Amino acid sequence: MSQQQAQQKNKKAKTAITPTREDDFPEWYQQVIKAADMAENAPVRGCMIIKPYGYAIWELIQKIFDGMIKDHGVENAYFPLLIPLSYISKEAEHVDGFAKECAVVTHHRLEEAEGGGLKPAGKLAEPLIIRPTSETIIGESFAKWINSYRDLPMKLNQWCNVMRWEMRPRLFLRTSEFLWQEGHNAFATAEEAEEDARKMVEAYRKFNEDYLAIPLIVGEKTAEERFPGAVATYTIEAIMQDGKALQAATSHNLGQTFSKSADISFQDQDGQNKYAWTTSWGSTTRLIGALVMVHADDDGLVLPPKIAPQQVVILPISRGEENAELIAFCQKIEADLRKKGIRVKLDNSDAKTPDKMWKTIKQGVPVRVEIGQREMDEGKLTFVPRDLGRDGKQLVDADQFVDDIESILDRIQQSIFDRAKTRMLGHIKTTESLAELRQIFEAGEAVQVLIPTDLTKEPEYEAIQNDFSVTSRCMPFAENGEKVLVGKAY
Amino acid sequence: MSQQQAQQKNKKAKTAITPTREDDFPEWYQQVIKAADMAENAPVRGCMIIKPYGYAIWELIQKIFDGMIKDHGVENAYFPLLIPLSYISKEAEHVDGFAKECAVVTHHRLEEAEGGGLKPAGKLAEPLIIRPTSETIIGESFAKWINSYRDLPMKLNQWCNVMRWEMRPRLFLRTSEFLWQEGHNAFATAEEAEEDARKMVEAYRKFNEDYLAIPLIVGEKTAEERFPGAVATYTIEAIMQDGKALQAATSHNLGQTFSKSADISFQDQDGQNKYAWTTSWGSTTRLIGALVMVHADDDGLVLPPKIAPQQVVILPISRGEENAELIAFCQKIEADLRKKGIRVKLDNSDAKTPDKMWKTIKQGVPVRVEIGQREMDEGKLTFVPRDLGRDGKQLVDADQFVDDIESILDRIQQSIFDRAKTRMLGHIKTTESLAELRQIFEAGEAVQVLIPTDLTKEPEYEAIQNDFSVTSRCMPFAENGEKVLVGKAY
């Protein structure tokens, strides 16, 4: 082994996550999730157990986004898990490319099998499907509930589990069961539906950029990539550190397609009977996968403060025996921070200090505070921001830290966003020709490329899509529909 | 028709709900839910659609109780919907009286059937069960996650949907799919588990009495009524207006029964390998059914302010044309109340005033505010508390109302609780003999009776249970286990 190799190996050994992003991005992703104790595979293939730390992130996502949609006048409801097969069959007739990977319930009882164990019994007259989406059942309800223009707009959302059988599962990114919100809105006019679909994609943009610190390409799907039956599909595309895109949420203007198939009609002010104009919009636990792949580094998760279950973790560094005075000092700071609404945890467990320290790093805690005897004697503390690591280490007055905590967290939030934005832009190239597009993908110069929209009608464009497994991600709003972002995606 | 009959009919016609509680309690219950727009039956038999108003109550239940359990150090997680049949079979071996009414998934795909439509395809090697509870999967996870005394206590909860096939469904009370929280805690010692099981039943008591204003009999289940495998089952029993009991939540000390069957063991501080001591505790959307049956009256729902989605609804009473000044006056009051954290809604829709008024009554809104031109000119408003109706109508200064709103709501909360408590006590008799117990049930003098615990060992007690369809509800803590409450239950 050369000295250089030895140094490199030594350097590599310092990262908490093995392999690194560069070595093996997909495996790094799994290891970050494991090291942060966020989730693990369930015994049923394709399903996952979301552990408390991962679920706490989802709870924050729910809380914040739920507040945003309620401000839009959306109400939550709950529709049943099981959908009659006939509903799905009806839907399948209307929708080309309808997904058929569904969990099917055929029996409603267990009885003792010969030779021990249990076996299915009580065969159902009609099989039932575990909802892959609630489009059909909500459509039927809207048809019943909407009769007059007075009933409009109707804006309903539900937070629930859905199921789509998954052959190549990956934690958070692609699981047979996942958690999501699905919004379904109905309006009296085409204009309101279009405005709403754009409003909801803007809500997703705001939530992802301002809270998850995930920079986005926001735009419209091309006709080929549109949700089946939709007039327009708006999307937020996030770019992972490996350059692949991830569709983080979509908002569909469904026009009258679904209101006609579900018979959602109303008597308008002019006495005429009309079909409603509907939209739907959804986002899922995939967002947590995006958070990991956009922000995490070779030491583990990096969480934007606004979505971190713990924004500050305090570690008392006592040498040897328990130090009641030190603990009391730490508790005082914890209480002061909590009073300011900061999510703070004092880690007073009997684990070893380096283990505790690495836990905060691997879990992406935005600010780690270390307090030893010397700091306490001077009324000070040391803090390390997760985004800068040791380079950002500071010894400050404890009172000052409490006073400044919001601006410390704001700086981290902004810095994480800025870094992600720089990375995102670094993954995107622009070209005006399909020949060059082919060259770029061939040479691996970039994973995402902006090309003129007109070029997507050329046969060569389809050939490129097939040859490099790339797809049209969206026509960015920023380009006024004149360009299409094309690239690999999760 | 005699004059008296005519009067009675006239009087009856004044109630918003038909039939009344007295006429037909079960049907009255369904009609209250319908009139309040809380839920309706889903197309899949036994399942329900929880409409926005009903779901908003569930959201408040979740928010408040979730805060309480987090204060107890419980963390939320998410376990998968589907459980392998082998897990359930294993459980069934350990648990006598194991419920076998489960939804069974046997296929994971749909394919086109001959002659149109879709049919199940992709038969699974092992059938999967939609969780009737997550005991088994959480047990398996605990076995994996708990290795040392340092991992204890572990306290996890999940909010989710579960499914138990239901042959005689009733909205909220008994549905095939329902929403619930299930808590699962593990400890190093028997004492901690026992303390925890009692702590959780106390949390349920506090939540039900202080927020839902539902007075309770809190106690321990008799050995016969205990959760299969549990060392002790603690319960909160609410008494409905028809005298029947409803088990509103339970908390089980499972001893080492489940840790032994799931192999949840840990190395203790003394180096010994030991089985953990576990508890579980749950409550469901049944609570909403209890809310209805404890508080609602012949005009519809009556909601305790702490759980009311809207605590105050403001109705502008304009005669004829739109009155911008009146609306502005109402909006000012709405804003002032909201600033104080009150859940308030200004109903400015173009529905007719009596319809709006009746809507607030049927939905159990604690305080209805009516403001007309005259009130506005004097800076006043009229308010009607739902619990007192017209008798409680008051004309007051608008500013004073805003100042006093908390105490107005507090009075209503207390009054609703007190009324429910009086009713509850009215349904309970006491006797020292089984002969008298039989007489009481025969004569219909009471639905619930307290008897000495010793009597439950007599064969005559079992005969009475069978003859009158009554069961031991619990041994109330207040009676130190010396008495048993016996009666009908939902």
Q: Evaluate whether B449 touches B464 at the Cβ level (below 8 Å).
A: no
From A95-104, A392-401, B264-273, the region with the lowest mean pLDDT: A95-104
Looking at residue B100, what is its pLDDT? 84
Most distant CA pair in chain A: distance in Å? 86
How many whole angstroms separate alpha carbon B188 and alpha carbon B268?
Answer: 8
Q: Is A400 on the interface with B (CB under 8 A)?
A: no
- Please report how the helices A52-71 and A286-295 are oriented relative to each other, as an axis angle in degrees rounded to 10: 110
Q: Evaluate whether A130 touches A99 at the Cβ level (below 8 Å).
A: no
Q: Which is nearest to A179 in space by CA: A58, A22, A335, A15?
A: A58
B109 to A128: CB separation less than 8 angstroms, yes or no: no
Share of chain A above pLDDT 70, in %: 95
pLDDT tens-place string over residues B30-55: 999 999 999 999 999 899 999 999 99
Please name the residue that has the structure tokens 């693990």: A40
ipTM of the complex as predicted: 0.95
pLDDT tens-place string over residues A430-450: 999 999 999 999 999 889 999
Asked whether the predicted pLDDT for residue A35 surpasses 80, the reply is yes
Partners of B81 on chain A (C-beta within 8 Å) are 47, 81, 130, 161, 163, 177
**Tokens of residue B415, six digits:** 């009054």
Q: Which is nearest to B43 in space by CA: A236, A120, A134, A42?
A: A134
Which one-letter DSSP state was computed for residue A174?
Answer: B
B49 to A78: CB separation less than 8 angstroms, yes or no: yes
The C-alpha angle with vertex B183 and arms to B178 and B185, in degrees rounded to 5, equals 160
Looking at residue A7, what is its pLDDT? 53
Cis ω on the peptide bond leading into residue A153 (within 30° of 0)? Answer: yes
For A76, nearest residue in chain B (alpha carbons): B52
Please name the residue that has the structure tokens 């805060």: B67
How many whole angstroms separate alpha carbon A284 and alpha carbon A279?
Answer: 17
Architecture per CATH, B429-487:
2-Layer Sandwich (3.30)
The yes or no reply on domain B310-414 and CATH 3.30.43.10 is: no
Please name the residue that has the structure tokens 């090291």: A35
In 3-state terms, what secondary structure has residue B54? helix
In chain A, what are the domain boundaries? 33-80+142-295, 307-415, 427-487
A55 to B47: CB separation less than 8 angstroms, yes or no: no
The yes or no reply on domain B33-84+136-295 and CATH 3.30.930.10 is: yes
Tell me the C-alpha to C-alpha distance, in Å, between residue B203 and each of A44, B191, B198. Answer: 34, 18, 9
State how far Cα B73 lies from the chain centre. 23
| Cβ contacts of A489 within 8 Å, gap of 6 or more | A237, A244, A245, A246, A247, A470, A471, A473
Which residue of B51, B79, B83 is in closest CB contact with A77?
B51
Rounded to a whole number, what is the distance in angstroms from the first to the last CA of chain B?
A: 38
Taking the alpha carbons of B374, B377, B378, B380 in that order, is the dihedral positive or negative? Answer: positive
For A285, nearest residue in chain B (alpha carbons): B78
Number of H helices, E strands in chain B: 14, 23
Phi and psi, residue A408, nearest 5°? -60, -45
Please name the residue that has the structure tokens 């000495």: B452
B42 to A76: CB separation less than 8 angstroms, yes or no: no
How many whole angstroms separate alpha carbon B318 and alpha carbon B374?
Answer: 10
A177 to B81: CB separation less than 8 angstroms, yes or no: yes
B47 to A108: CB separation less than 8 angstroms, yes or no: no
Q: Evaluate whether B399 touches B379 at the Cβ level (below 8 Å).
A: yes
Please name the residue that has the structure tokens 């000052």: A400
**Tokens of residue A261, six digits:** 């198939």
Q: What is the dihedral of CA A103, A104, A109, A112, to 10 degrees?
A: -80
B55 to A49: CB separation less than 8 angstroms, yes or no: no
How many whole angstroms separate alpha carbon B20 and alpha carbon B299?
Answer: 9
**Tokens of residue A108, six digits:** 């409603």
The yes or no reply on domain A307-415 and CATH 3.40.50.800 is: yes
B165 to A108: CB separation less than 8 angstroms, yes or no: yes
Looking at residue B368, what is its pLDDT? 98
> In whole numbers, what is the pLDDT of chain A averaged over residues?
94
B127 to A104: CB separation less than 8 angstroms, yes or no: no
From the candidate CATH numbers 3.90.550.10, 3.30.930.10, 1.10.10.10, 3.30.379.10, the one assigned to the domain spanning A33-80+142-295: 3.30.930.10
Q: Evaluate whether B179 touches B168 at the Cβ level (below 8 Å).
A: no
Q: Evaluate whether A482 touches A451 at the Cβ level (below 8 Å).
A: no
Best of B47, B82, B131 to disrupt the A interface by mutation (most A CBs within 10 Å)? B82
Looking at residue A335, what is its pLDDT? 98
Residue window 339-398, chain B: list those with CB within 8 Å of chain A.
349-351
How many whole angstroms separate alpha carbon A39 and alpha carbon B437?
Answer: 55
Q: Which is nearest to B179 in space by CA: B195, B161, B204, B206?
A: B161
Looking at residue A1, what is its pLDDT? 47
Q: Is B67 on the interface with A (CB under 8 A)?
A: no
Those residues of chain B that have pLDDT short of 50 are: 1, 12
List, in sequence order, every residue forming a beta bridge with B370; answer none if it has no partner: B315, B382
Looking at residue B212, what is its pLDDT? 98
Q: Is A332 on the interface with B (CB under 8 A)?
A: no
How many whole angstroms separate alpha carbon A47 and alpha carbon A172?
Answer: 9
**Tokens of residue B478, six digits:** 């207040």
Q: pLDDT band at residue A90, thresholds of 50, 70 and 90? A: confident
Residue window 136-195, chain B: list those with CB within 8 Å of chain A.
137, 140-141, 150, 156, 160-161, 163, 165, 177, 179
Calculate how close chain A gets to B192, using CA atoms only, in Å.
19
Best of B34, B37, B41, B49 to disrupt the A interface by mutation (most A CBs within 10 Å)? B49
Q: Evaluate whether A126 touches A86 at the Cβ level (below 8 Å).
A: yes
For A55, nearest residue in chain B (alpha carbons): B77
For residue A341, the one-letter residue type is: G
Which residue of A50, A106, A111 is in closest CB contact with B120?
A106
In 3-state terms, what secondary structure has residue A182? strand
Asked whether the predicted pLDDT for residue A30 surpasses 50, the reply is yes
B106 to A111: CB separation less than 8 angstroms, yes or no: no
A78 to B58: CB separation less than 8 angstroms, yes or no: yes
How many whole angstroms separate alpha carbon B316 and alpha carbon B390?
Answer: 18
How many whole angstroms separate alpha carbon A280 and alpha carbon A475?
Answer: 20
3-state secondary structure A149-173: HHHCCEEEEEEEEEECCCCCCECCC
Q: Which is nearest to A194 in space by CA: A218, A216, A220, A217?
A: A220
How many whole angstroms separate alpha carbon B282 and alpha carbon B284?
Answer: 7
Element (H, E) at A421: helix A398-426
Looking at residue B332, what is its pLDDT? 97
**Tokens of residue A214, six digits:** 């995930």
Please name the residue that has the structure tokens 């110069």: A445
Q: Is B95 on the interface with A (CB under 8 A)?
A: no
